[in-house]
Amino acid sequence: MHPAYSVILFTTSSGAGYGLLFWLSIAHAFGLAPDDRWLLFTAIALALLLITVGLLASTLHLGHPERATGAFSQWRSSWLSREGVAAVATYVPAGLLALLWLIGVDSGLTALLALLSGIGAAVTVYCTGMIYASLRTIRQWHQPSVPYIYLALAAGTGALLLGLLIGLFGHAAAWPVLLALACLVVGALLKWRYWQSIDADPGQYTAEMATGLGAIGKVKPLDPPHTRPNFVMREMGYRVARKHAEKLRKGVLLTLFAAPAVLVLLALFTGWSALLFTLAIIAAALGVATERWLFFAEAEHVSMLYYGAERA
């Protein structure tokens, strides 16, 4: 599948933003977050900025971005529509929370708003994952673990951001480090099992099923319907970087999981929280962008059976 750069930016940036919003909200709701109004406001502002940048980027791949509001209407059947509804709904409690923290109103309302923001963030990322996981045409996406990988990676990158901000505001504590570590370990395990699972499945559909000609024998393309690639081949037949998948997977394991885990552990023992979390975030950003690219590049679409693929 062709990786739309705007979609990679959207899912990684908004993912980190929703992850940050989620942990910030949960920490506040359960009284774990430092009682520092400016830390809380900075964190929620950064979360909303990352989310908004991502959402705006996601409209760039649309043919008609000006009609995007129509996408809120079909939440009964469409995960993309549900994602849009959840994203907009999350702005309401999160925006109010940001406002209350900005003007410094110490209201009992903030815990409730935080809880709603956390739920909204998790639901939105789950919907993003389900957009892919619901497509039966792409076996590398139609995996039960896909929405949970989206959730784990959003939680991991968000936890790193929260850890950095807490360090920057001089409240360095052990729990953000342990939180980030837990998310990274869960993310790495899920992703590892995901790769094992897609490697073990050669695909259940064949060119003979696609053409219905299996009774005669093996089906091979003879004359193509067009001399140059069409939309379907460019979009669904994209395979750049697939041959480097092994190397890129190792790169993801190193930059998205191993390096940040080691760096935040060092932060726990050295106290250089801000510097080490910054390095961890740089590594994880590179890693999550590579992971998302690979998620597209490794995805094989059933329609390619008509264009020479033997299985999909």
Partner 1 sequence: MTTLPETTKKKLGLVIDLDICVGCQACATSCKEWNTGGYSAPLSDHDAYGADPSGAWLNRIHSYEVGEGPLAKTVHFPRSCLHCEEPDCVTVCPTGASYKREEDGIVLVNPDTCIGCKLCSWACPYGAREYDYDDGVMKKCTLCVDRIYNETIPEEDRVPACVRACPTGARAFGDLGDPESDVSKSVEARGGFNLLDEFGYKPVNKYLPPRINQVADAPVAQPMTTEKSDGSKIENLFAWVDRALSA
Please identify, using beta-carbon distances, which residue of 170 and 229 lies nearer to partner 1. 229
Cross-strand bridge partners of residue 206: 311
The verdict on 84 binding partner 1 (CB under 8 A) reads yes
Q: Does 239 bind partner 1 (CB under 8 A)?
A: no
Tell me how far, at minimum, the Cβ of 252 lies from partner 1, in Å. 23
Least distance to partner 1, CB of residue 91, Å:
18
Rounded to a whole number of angstroms, the CA Rg of the chain reads 22
Of residues 112 through 131, those in contact with partner 1 by CB under 8 A are 131
Tell me how crowded residue 225 is: count the other CB atoms within 10 A of its CB.
8
Q: What φ, ψ does residue 138 adopt, rounded to 5°? A: -130, 105
Element (H, E) at 37: helix 37-58
Cα distance between residue 58 and residue 22, in whole Å? 21
Assigned token pair, 136: 């039966």
CB of 63 to partner 1, least distance (A): 2
Q: Which is nearer to partner 1, 73 or 270 (CB)?
A: 73
Q: Which stretch binds partner 1 (CB under 8 A): 24-32, 49-57, 111-119, 205-213?
A: 205-213
202 contacts partner 1 (rule: CB under 8 A): no
SS3 138: strand
CB of 122 to partner 1, least distance (A): 20
Give the Cα separation of 181 and 167 in Å (integer): 16
229 binds partner 1 (CB under 8 A): yes
Is residue 260 within 8 Å of residue 283, measured between CB atoms?
A: yes
Using CB under 8 A as the binding rule, whether residue 228 contacts partner 1 is answered as yes
CB atoms near residue 104 (< 10 Å): 9
- Of 1 and 188, nearer to partner 1 (C-beta) is 1
Answer yes or no whether residue 148 interacts with partner 1 by CB under 8 A.
no
User: Cα–Cα distance between 311 and 201 in angstroms, integer?
Assistant: 10
Q: Which two tokens stand for residue 63?
A: 């043919």
Residues 157-196 within binding reach of partner 1 (CB under 8 A) = none
Asked if 144 touches partner 1 (CB under 8 A), the answer is no
Say whether residue 60 binds partner 1 (CB under 8 A): no
Classify residue 37 by burial, with Cβ atoms within 10 Å: 0-12, 13-18, 19+: middle
Q: Which of 35, 73, 92, 243 binds partner 1 (CB under 8 A)?
A: 73
Q: What are phi and psi of 229, to 5 degrees?
A: -60, 140
| Least distance (Å) between residue 70 CB and partner 1 | 4
The smaller minimum CB distance to partner 1, of residues 228 and 269, is found at 228
Of 170, 296, 175, 184, nearest to 238 (Cα)? 296
Which of 232, 245, 253, 282: binder of partner 1 (CB under 8 A)?
232
Positions touching partner 1 (CB under 8 A) are 1, 61-65, 67-68, 70-74, 76-81, 84, 131, 134-138, 204-205, 209-213, 215-232, 235-236, 301-307
